Amino acid sequence: MIRRFISYYKPYKKIFILDMIASFLIACLGMLYPITTRVMLNRLIPEKNYKMIYIFGAFLLIIYVTRMFLRFFVQYYGHIMGVKMQAQMRKEMFKRIQTLPYSYYDNHQTGKIMSRMTNDLQDISELAHHAPENFFIFGIMIVGSFIYLLTIEKTLTLIIFACVPVMLLVSATFKNRMRDAFMESRKNVAVINASLESSISGIRVTKAFNNSHIEERKFDVGNNAFVESKRKAYKAMGQFFSSTNFITDFFNVVVLIAGGVFLFQGKINGGDYATFIISINLFITPLTKLIDFTEQYQNGITGFKRFLEIIDEVPEKDRENAKEISNIKGEIEFKDVHFSYNDSKEILKGISFKVPAGKKIALVGPSGEGKTTICHLIPNFYKINSGEITIDGININDITLESLRKNIGIVQQDIYLFGGTIKENILYGKPDATDEEVFEASRKANIHDYIMTLEKGYDTEIGERGVKLSGGQKQRLSIARVFLKNPTILILDEATSALDNTTEIFIQKELEELSKGRTTLVVAHRLSTIKNADEIFVIQNGNIEEKGNHNELLEAKGIYYKLYSSMFNN
């Protein structure tokens, strides 16, 4: 994992090297103060060499000014490097998210994914910037100060150094507790984000049903879990830092007592004793800083692990030797297709049917019996358990996903419109379309005239998920972008079930126009909308229980007849 983390530094080698050089100089320059202090205490002050005292003072001032500019470079360019690495990772993660199969989103909440793309990557960015600098600067200062302390008094230095293993042992003891606690905390942040995303997206429903108290209770569950996980994390962190800080305080006591004894015995003079006290902080401070850095390190590594979980997810891939298709006729065939979601109970139990090119087929039956599943299998959103699905006699697994889906248009009940303008949403059907093509698609969807009445026309912002539009207007926009896409195969998955009767009648005309000359599969609860289908399949218990046209199925007086009669009676 560390090797993979380091690989993200490669595009920024130049700035990384300069950052490390600056860090090296900062560490080296920091060593000059105790050296200068020792010379002044042992030589210049006793000799009353005021000129050299001033020269040494000016020299230190120049050193500190230089270190100020070096620190600015490290802080600014180091953070810029971290941000660029963060942007690179975010791009890589977003790209991977685009390639993941439908099944991934069935099992992962949007808010949790967003948490990984924001909070986790921010922590990774901070780690990317601070980790090499901290290890480099503090490492040099620890080694350099240790060597310098040896030149002052070896025995006293070794006594101090003997305490270091105790500090490292304490650090190792509490490090794993901190890691586990912060991982749990990170998961709970993701839960809160998922709850927020869901609640804010559904705020209009919450207000309509006056159920804000329910959402507050749901939020409190995640929020309380977050507080508890943070309590555990900070308890582990408190144990860690209080223990390590006690050891550093113990260092100072040892230096004070042992140094005093050595001074009394004449093993060390007053100047060296004062210098040793100053220098010991150069040894202890970077050591404690390095240990303190453990928290940031744990956050960053935890975030990177969660980042890799998404990056390492298996994306949708074309089968080897899969080919592109174009100019297809649109014949669809299911051959003994069995399918289930995530090893759950079987949804489709050996479905077989054939839809001739250009024909309209309707799928009806009770909810949850597999109608929408059939629609999702045609664009290869999910892999079937067994059997075969073909387009124009070609197994869909032998067709590239891009070219397969390019030839399929879908209009669903739950319309998703992106934040942006009307034109941008219609262009989703064909991003390189001309304005005239957009206008023509809108005319066919019977929404062009309405758009032209708006002050900004096609450049009108529609709000998040199209909240500024009515249900019928949103549906017409979705129909317009399918017109623009101009697919050979059309899937209408309960496209009008969320509309009122009057709006549905008007939308149905646009859908009839959209269906002309295309192989069409219609899923509908309102059976009055599919009377003119070439053939109707009644889906129940994962099988096709009945099939035929409207009149044939009524005459058979089976399941379809009962469904139609119950609707008519109501």
Q: Is the pTM of this model over 0.85?
A: no
Q: How far is CA 458 from the centre of its chain?
A: 32
With beta carbons less than 8 A apart as the criterion, state whether 163 and 254 touch. Answer: yes
Q: Which amino acid is at 216?
A: E
**Coil, strand or helix: which one is 324?**
coil
Superfamily of domain 88-311: ABC transporter type 1, transmembrane domain (1.20.1560.10)
Q: Which two tokens stand for residue 561?
A: 């007849």
Q: Is 493 helix (H, G, I), strand (E, B) or coil?
A: strand
Q: Tell me how far apart the terminal alpha carbons of the chain are, to the nearest angstrom.
A: 63
CA distances from 287 to 26, 139, 329, 516 (A): 16, 8, 72, 75
- Distance, in Å, from the CA atom of 2 to the CA atom of 124, rounded to the nearest integer, reads 12
| Residues whose CB falls within 8 Å of the CB of residue 96, separated by 6 or more in sequence, listed in order | 310, 311, 313, 315
Question: Residue ranges of the domains in the chain?
Answer: 88-311, 332-569
Q: Where are the alpha helices (DSSP H) in 265-367?
A: 270-311
Ordered strands of the 360-364 beta sheet? 408-412, 489-493, 519-523, 360-364, 535-540, 543-548
Is 422 exposed, middle or buried (CB count within 10 Å of its CB: 0-12, 13-18, 19+)? Answer: buried
Alpha carbons 522 and 46: distance in angstroms, whole number: 99
Q: How do the residues of the chain divide into helix, strand and coil, expressed in percent and rounded to 5?
A: 70, 10, 20
Residue 209 burial class via C-beta count within 10 angstroms: exposed 0-12, middle 13-18, buried 19 and up: exposed
Tens digits of pLDDT across the chain (570 residues): 778 888 888 888 888 889 888 888 888 887 777 778 777 777 877 878 878 888 888 888 898 899 899 989 988 888 888 888 888 888 888 888 888 888 888 777 777 787 788 778 888 888 887 777 777 777 888 888 788 888 888 888 888 777 777 777 777 677 667 767 777 776 777 677 767 766 766 665 565 556 677 777 877 877 787 788 778 777 877 777 777 777 777 777 877 888 888 888 888 888 777 777 777 777 777 777 777 677 677 778 888 888 888 888 888 888 888 899 888 899 999 999 999 987 778 889 999 999 999 999 999 888 888 888 999 999 998 899 999 999 999 999 999 988 998 898 888 877 778 878 899 889 988 888 999 999 999 988 888 989 999 889 999 988 776 777 887 888 888 888 888 888 999 998 877 665 666 666 777 777 788 888 899 999 887 777 788 889 999 998 889 999 998 888 888 888 888 888 877 665
Domain 332-569 top-level CATH class: alpha beta
